[in-house]
Amino acid sequence: MNRRIGLVAVALVAGAILTASGMFSQTTIQPTRKVIKLAGGPVSAPFSDGILSGNTLYLAGRIGVDPKTGKVPEKIEDEIKFLLDGEKEVLAQAGMTMDDLVYVQVACTDLSLFQKFNPIYASYFTTKDYPAREFIGAGSLLIGGHFELQAIAVKR
Protein backbone atom coordinates (compact mmCIF):
# COMPACT_ATOMS: atom_id res chain seq x y z
CA MET A 1 0.00 0.00 0.00
CA ASN A 2 2.71 2.48 0.91
CA ARG A 3 4.45 1.96 -2.41
CA ARG A 4 1.19 2.66 -4.25
CA ILE A 5 0.65 5.90 -2.30
CA GLY A 6 4.24 6.91 -3.09
CA LEU A 7 3.71 6.37 -6.83
CA VAL A 8 0.49 8.39 -6.76
CA ALA A 9 2.29 11.20 -4.93
CA VAL A 10 5.11 11.20 -7.51
CA ALA A 11 2.58 11.30 -10.34
CA LEU A 12 0.73 14.23 -8.73
CA VAL A 13 3.96 16.18 -8.18
CA ALA A 14 5.10 15.48 -11.77
CA GLY A 15 1.71 16.61 -13.10
CA ALA A 16 1.90 19.81 -11.06
CA ILE A 17 5.39 20.56 -12.37
CA LEU A 18 4.38 19.94 -15.99
CA THR A 19 1.26 22.07 -15.61
CA ALA A 20 3.24 24.88 -14.01
CA SER A 21 5.82 24.72 -16.80
CA GLY A 22 3.07 25.08 -19.39
CA MET A 23 3.41 21.67 -21.02
CA PHE A 24 -0.19 20.74 -20.19
CA SER A 25 -1.52 24.26 -20.17
CA GLN A 26 -4.86 24.94 -21.83
CA THR A 27 -3.34 28.04 -23.43
CA THR A 28 -2.32 27.66 -27.06
CA ILE A 29 0.13 29.91 -28.85
CA GLN A 30 -1.47 31.70 -31.77
CA PRO A 31 0.68 32.07 -34.89
CA THR A 32 1.67 35.56 -35.91
CA ARG A 33 -0.57 37.10 -38.57
CA LYS A 34 0.49 39.61 -41.22
CA VAL A 35 -1.83 41.20 -43.76
CA ILE A 36 -0.27 41.84 -47.18
CA LYS A 37 -1.85 44.50 -49.39
CA LEU A 38 0.03 45.53 -52.51
CA ALA A 39 0.29 49.19 -53.41
CA GLY A 40 -1.80 50.21 -56.39
CA GLY A 41 -4.52 47.64 -55.78
CA PRO A 42 -8.18 48.55 -55.47
CA VAL A 43 -8.30 50.39 -52.14
CA SER A 44 -12.03 49.80 -51.68
CA ALA A 45 -11.87 46.05 -52.32
CA PRO A 46 -12.79 44.13 -49.14
CA PHE A 47 -9.88 41.66 -49.25
CA SER A 48 -6.13 41.45 -48.77
CA ASP A 49 -3.65 40.20 -51.36
CA GLY A 50 -2.34 37.72 -48.84
CA ILE A 51 -2.53 36.65 -45.22
CA LEU A 52 0.60 35.25 -43.61
CA SER A 53 -0.32 33.09 -40.62
CA GLY A 54 2.73 31.58 -38.99
CA ASN A 55 4.78 30.19 -41.88
CA THR A 56 1.77 29.72 -44.20
CA LEU A 57 0.73 32.34 -46.74
CA TYR A 58 -2.77 32.36 -48.22
CA LEU A 59 -2.82 34.29 -51.51
CA ALA A 60 -6.07 35.83 -52.70
CA GLY A 61 -7.38 35.33 -56.22
CA ARG A 62 -5.44 37.49 -58.67
CA ILE A 63 -6.04 38.51 -62.28
CA GLY A 64 -3.22 39.40 -64.71
CA VAL A 65 -3.60 43.17 -64.89
CA ASP A 66 -1.09 45.59 -66.38
CA PRO A 67 -0.08 47.73 -63.38
CA LYS A 68 0.38 50.80 -65.62
CA THR A 69 -3.09 50.71 -67.18
CA GLY A 70 -5.09 48.75 -64.60
CA LYS A 71 -6.47 46.64 -67.46
CA VAL A 72 -6.04 43.11 -68.72
CA PRO A 73 -3.64 43.21 -71.70
CA GLU A 74 -4.76 41.95 -75.09
CA LYS A 75 -1.85 39.53 -75.44
CA ILE A 76 -2.47 36.34 -73.42
CA GLU A 77 1.23 35.83 -72.68
CA ASP A 78 1.43 39.32 -71.12
CA GLU A 79 -1.63 38.62 -68.99
CA ILE A 80 -0.04 35.42 -67.67
CA LYS A 81 3.22 37.25 -66.85
CA PHE A 82 1.41 40.08 -65.04
CA LEU A 83 -0.55 37.47 -63.09
CA LEU A 84 2.56 35.56 -62.01
CA ASP A 85 4.57 38.75 -61.35
CA GLY A 86 1.81 39.81 -58.94
CA GLU A 87 2.00 36.46 -57.17
CA LYS A 88 5.78 36.82 -56.87
CA GLU A 89 5.35 40.26 -55.33
CA VAL A 90 2.93 39.02 -52.67
CA LEU A 91 5.24 36.09 -51.92
CA ALA A 92 8.25 38.43 -51.66
CA GLN A 93 6.47 40.59 -49.08
CA ALA A 94 6.12 37.44 -46.98
CA GLY A 95 9.79 36.55 -47.47
CA MET A 96 8.94 33.72 -49.88
CA THR A 97 9.43 32.74 -53.51
CA MET A 98 7.40 30.80 -56.06
CA ASP A 99 9.22 27.68 -54.87
CA ASP A 100 7.42 28.01 -51.51
CA LEU A 101 4.02 27.47 -53.16
CA VAL A 102 2.40 24.18 -52.15
CA TYR A 103 -1.01 24.55 -53.81
CA VAL A 104 -2.18 26.62 -56.78
CA GLN A 105 -5.66 26.91 -58.26
CA VAL A 106 -6.07 28.52 -61.67
CA ALA A 107 -9.51 29.38 -62.99
CA CYS A 108 -9.52 29.92 -66.76
CA THR A 109 -12.27 31.13 -69.06
CA ASP A 110 -10.94 29.10 -72.00
CA LEU A 111 -9.31 25.73 -71.29
CA SER A 112 -7.62 25.76 -74.69
CA LEU A 113 -5.23 28.33 -73.13
CA PHE A 114 -3.79 25.57 -70.91
CA GLN A 115 -0.89 24.99 -73.34
CA LYS A 116 0.00 28.71 -73.42
CA PHE A 117 -0.14 28.97 -69.63
CA ASN A 118 2.12 26.01 -68.76
CA PRO A 119 5.52 27.05 -70.19
CA ILE A 120 5.29 30.57 -68.78
CA TYR A 121 4.13 29.21 -65.39
CA ALA A 122 6.99 26.67 -65.28
CA SER A 123 9.56 29.41 -66.00
CA TYR A 124 8.73 31.11 -62.67
CA PHE A 125 10.13 28.22 -60.61
CA THR A 126 13.78 27.44 -59.88
CA THR A 127 12.99 23.81 -59.09
CA LYS A 128 10.97 21.18 -60.92
CA ASP A 129 9.22 20.28 -57.65
CA TYR A 130 6.10 22.17 -58.68
CA PRO A 131 3.23 22.75 -56.28
CA ALA A 132 0.02 20.75 -56.49
CA ARG A 133 -2.17 22.56 -59.02
CA GLU A 134 -5.72 22.67 -60.24
CA PHE A 135 -6.57 24.22 -63.62
CA ILE A 136 -10.32 24.60 -63.89
CA GLY A 137 -12.74 26.08 -66.37
CA ALA A 138 -14.60 29.21 -65.33
CA GLY A 139 -17.26 31.49 -66.74
CA SER A 140 -16.39 35.15 -67.06
CA LEU A 141 -13.85 36.65 -64.67
CA LEU A 142 -13.60 40.18 -63.32
CA ILE A 143 -12.49 42.96 -65.68
CA GLY A 144 -12.26 40.56 -68.62
CA GLY A 145 -9.43 38.41 -67.31
CA HIS A 146 -8.80 34.98 -68.76
CA PHE A 147 -7.10 33.61 -65.62
CA GLU A 148 -7.53 33.96 -61.89
CA LEU A 149 -4.96 32.37 -59.63
CA GLN A 150 -5.12 31.72 -55.89
CA ALA A 151 -2.56 29.81 -53.89
CA ILE A 152 -1.14 28.63 -50.59
CA ALA A 153 2.58 28.80 -49.76
CA VAL A 154 4.55 27.44 -46.83
CA LYS A 155 7.96 28.90 -46.02
CA ARG A 156 10.68 26.30 -46.52
For 111, phi and psi rounded to 5 degrees? -65, -15
pLDDT in tens, the chain (156 residues): 555 555 444 444 444 444 444 544 455 677 788 899 887 655 567 889 999 999 999 999 999 999 899 899 999 999 999 999 999 999 999 999 999 999 999 999 999 999 999 999 999 999 999 999 999 999 999 999 999 999 999 998
Please report, as a single letter, which amino acid is at residue 143: I
> Would you say 87 and 98 are in contact if contact means Cβ atoms under 8 Å apart?
yes
Axis crossing angle, helix 76-93 with helix 114-122, rounded to the nearest 10: 40
What pLDDT sits at residue 31?
A: 73
- CA–CA separation, 105 and 134 (whole Å): 5
* pTM, two decimal places: 0.78
